[in-house]
Structure 1
Amino acid sequence: MKRFAIEFSYDGTNFFGYQGQPNVRTVQGELENALERIFKERIYTQGAGRTDAGVHANGQVAAFNCPIDRLTDKDIKNALNANLPEDIYVKKAWEVDKKFNPRFAAKKRIYHYFISMREKDVFKRNYVWHFRYKLNVDAMRKASSFLEGEHDFSSFKKGNDKKNPVRTIYKIRVLEITNGLILIRVEGRSFLRSMVRNIVGSLVRVGLGQWTPEKIEEILQARSRQEAAGTAPPHGLYLYKVLF
C-alpha cells in the first residue's frame, strides 16, 4: 500500500478549525470526506499542525495511506481537487515512506500574520486584522527579538494547553511590506495553541507605545498568561509553510 503526502491551502473562514470534530465543518473532515468519495472507504489522515477556527493555510501538509497502488501523485492531486470544496485546494502530492507522519517529521513551521492599518476593506475583512491605529514597526521588531531562541512560553499559551511550554522560535520578522500593511513572520519547529496569536497581540501593545520593547522580555520571564496581552483575531493568521 502506498502512502502519500499532500500540500494544500484553505480559507479558514467557514471552518471550525483544522482538526476533525463531530457535527461541525472542519478541514480534516472535508479532506477525509473527499478521500472516502474517491476510495469508497474511510481514510484517516495525519496533519502537520492544527489551526483554530478562522485561521487560514497556504502550505498545510497531511499524509494518508492509498488503498489503490496504481495511482500516481498526479492522480491523487486531481482526484482530491475534483472532490474537495472550493475553499480547499491541493497544490501538490508526493509518495512518502509508510511511517511518515508530518506532525513529527516537520523541522520548521512558518506562520504569517497580517495587520492592516489602512481604511477597512470589507472584501478583506476575513483575511487581515484591520487595525485603525498607527503601529511602530521598529519597536515591534525590537520587542520580537526577545522571543527568539528557546524559552518557556507559558505567558503566550492558551490557558488550557497542558503541553510542555518550552519551545524554540528560530526567527521573527516584522515588516511593513506595503504602506499600512504589516507582516509578522514567525518561524519555529512547533508551537503551543494560540501561541502565535498571543505573541502578535503583545507586539501590537508595543507598537501602540503602551509597552516598551523590553516589556516582552519581562512577560516571557513571568511565565504567566495573565501578564501578556489579549489574543489577536484568528483571521489574520496563516500557516504559511511546513518544512521537512
Structure 2
Amino acid sequence: MLSLLLTLEYDGYDYSGWVKQKNVKTIQGELEKAFFRVCQQAIWTLGASKTDAGVHACDQKVLVKIPFQPRNNAFFIKTISKSLPPNINIKGYQVVASDFSVRMTKIKEYVYTINDNTYDLFNHRYELKVDKLLNVKKLHQISQIFVGEHNFAYFSGVKEGEEIATHRTITKIYVKRTKTKKVEFHFIAKGFIRYQIRMLTQNILACYWNKISLEQLQKDLNYPPVGKTTKYCAKPYGLCLKKIKY
C-alpha cells in the first residue's frame, strides 16, 4: 500500500464543494473518477479541508492510498492529473507514512478577495464585487475582535444536533490591499468550521457599513444566541484555501 500526499489546486466555482456526493459534481468526486480511469479500481482519498460549494483552493492537501506500487510515481501522478477536468490540477505530491494524518494540520490560511474597483471580467469568479471603495484600515480594526479563542457557534453553519466543536482559535486575521488594488481578508488558524470564514467576512463588512454595531458583534461572539445563526454570509466564490502547513 502506497500513501501519497497530493497538493491540489482547483477552481471550485462550478462544483458542489470538495466532498463527493451523489448526482452532483464535486472536487473529490472528479479526483476519484480520474484515479478510476487510470487504475481501473476505486482509490481511497481524504482531503485536509472540506471546502464549500463554489470555494477555490491553491493548496488543498489530499491523502491517497494506492493498493499497488506504480513503476514511476511522478509519471503516475502526471497521468492522473491529465485525466482531471482543466479546472483541477495536481501541483505536486510526496510519499508519506502509512499512518500520516492529513487532517492534523498546524496552519490553514484562507483568503477572501473583494474587488471594490473596476469590474474584472477575467477574475469575477474569484472575488466579491462591491460598489464603493473600502477603507482597509477600518476593516482590519473590526476584524480583530474575532482573533483568539471564541465560541463561533453563531458564526458557523453547524446545525442543531451536529457534534462539531464551535470553540476555535483564530491565530491571525489581517486585511490588506494588493498590488492589483483588490482587498484581501486573510484568516489563519489550525482549522475552521463550515461557513465560518464567509460569515465572519460578511459580518465585518456589515459592521463597516453600519448594518450591525461592533458592540453587537462582540455580544454575539461572547454570548452566542442559542439555536441561531447570523444572516450575514459572503458569497463562496470570493474564498480560496491559500495554504496548509503540517
TM-score category (smaller protein): over 0.9
Report the Cα distance in structure 2 between the residues aligned to 1:65 and 1:19, rounded to whole angstroms. 17
Runs of 4+ that moved beyond 6 A: none
Separation in structure 2 between the aligned mates of residue 124 and residue 194 of structure 1, nearest angstrom: 22
The 5-angstrom pairing of residues 1-244 of structure 1 reads 1-103=1-103, 105-160=104-159, 162=162, 163-178=164-179, 180-224=181-225, 228-244=230-246
TM-aligned CA deviation for residue 215 of structure 1: 4.2
Structure 1 unaligned residues grouped into runs of 5+: none
Residue 136 (structure 1) shift: 2.5
CA distance in 1, matches of 2:63, 2:169: 25
User: In 2, Cα distance between the equivalents of 1:72 and 1:216?
Assistant: 54
Cα separation, 1, equivalents of 2:157 and 2:133: 27
Note the C-alpha offset of 1:145. Answer: 1.3
Q: 1:73 to 1:185 in 2, by over 3 A?
A: farther
- Judge conservation of contact 1:153–1:223 (CA < 8 Å) in 2: yes
Q: Aligned-residue CA RMSD in angstroms?
A: 1.8
- Give the fraction of aligned pairs with identical amino acids, expressed as a percent: 28
Structure 2 length as normaliser, TM-score? 0.92
Count of matched residue pairs: 243
Q: Which amino acid aligns with 1:183?
A: E
- Equivalent-residue separation in structure 2 for 1:136 and 1:63 (angstroms): 41
* Matched-pair contact (CA < 8 Å) for 1:77–1:91: no
Give the letter for the 1:222 counterpart.
Y
For 2:244, give the aligned amino acid: V
Deviation at 1:229, TM superposition (A): 4.9
Note closer, same or farther for the CA distance 1:206–1:134 as it changes in structure 2 (3 Å cut): farther
Question: How many angstroms apart in 2 are the aligned matches of 1:179 and 1:46?
Answer: 35
- The SS at the match of 1:109 is strand
